[in-house]
Amino acid sequence: MQYKDERLSPSRFAIIRWFGFDQFQPERAVTSYWVSPTTLLLIRIPITLYSTIVIWANIGYTTTQGEMNNFFGYFTNLTYIGLHAYLVTALYHSVDYLLTPERYPRTFFIQPTVLNYLYVYLYHTILVFNIITPVVYWSMLNNGQAGINPMDAWLNVSVHGVSFFLMMFEMIFSRMQMYMNIVLLIVINVILYMFLSWVVHATAGWWVYPFLDWDNGPVAAGYYIGVGAAFVVVFFLQMLFHWIRVTLARCTGCAPSKREMVELEKQHSKEEV
């Protein structure tokens, strides 16, 4: 199916243009190379429902354990909140797209532009964070405790494993694009979280994650650098996955060829002028 892929209006701010936010084509968020928009919606419904159950079960269970004051200190929880927010928003836009007779992503174009920029940014964060979180947890933090209660086990698997597959479903089935310069925002996000972990330590007297403990000396510094670098590596790994997705779609005739894309870009440029 041929989509219009209308872009957002060019931003008057150079920084927005540099990051590529205004290159976003909203129709890509609600359509797929592989399935119809209706099927994409049917895929998103159970995924979003599951993420909703998990996040509220996690909040409720954490509250009953008297640990809600620590909830937002964990990178895992912040990552899952971001994933859930993205899934809910994507579902909302998909529903409206299908309800629009002319199949036009109107909700993106009628909402404040900043929300579109945030949507693009959120997409990049879920792509990266939902790989880092499972890898770090299962390789460095999971101690394999025997006798863990079923609720803890289910929540652990959901936020440190199932989350990866929820993200991959979105990456595979949507037509969203990545913009390389946003890697800088990912790095800034990670640095801000490190500052948050220091604030938690300064106010509560404990480290959210053991490898962040500066008492470990040079080893801790190595962890900071290594984990930080991993975010950048995963970002570009995801860009590779996106390139593979588009290449496969073109090879199978599910996406326009490069020549057709160039013609489409020229048409968009004329319309903007």
Q: pLDDT per residue over 199-224, tens digit each?
A: 999 998 888 988 888 888 888 888 88
Determine what percent of the chain is predicted with pLDDT higher than 90.
Answer: 73
Average pLDDT over the chain reads 91
Segment 147-167 mean pLDDT: 92
Q: pLDDT per residue over 45-102, tens digit each?
A: 999 999 999 999 999 999 999 989 989 999 999 999 999 999 999 999 999 999 998 8
φ, ψ (nearest 5 deg) of residue 100: -85, 120
For residue 213, the model assigns a pLDDT of 84
pLDDT value at 145 more than 80: no
Q: Model pTM?
A: 0.92
CA torsion, ordered 71, 159, 144, 62, to nearest 10 deg:
30
What's the rounded Cα separation, in Å, for the pair 120 and 126? 10
Query: Quick one: pLDDT band at residue 256, thresholds 50, 70, 90?
Result: confident
DSSP output for 177-204 = ---GGGHHHHHHHHHHHHHHHHHHHHHH
What's the rounded Cα separation, in Å, for the pair 257 and 251? 9
3-state SS, 134-180, equals: HHHHHHHHCCCCCCCCHHHHHHHHHHHHHHHHHHHHHHHHCCCCCCH
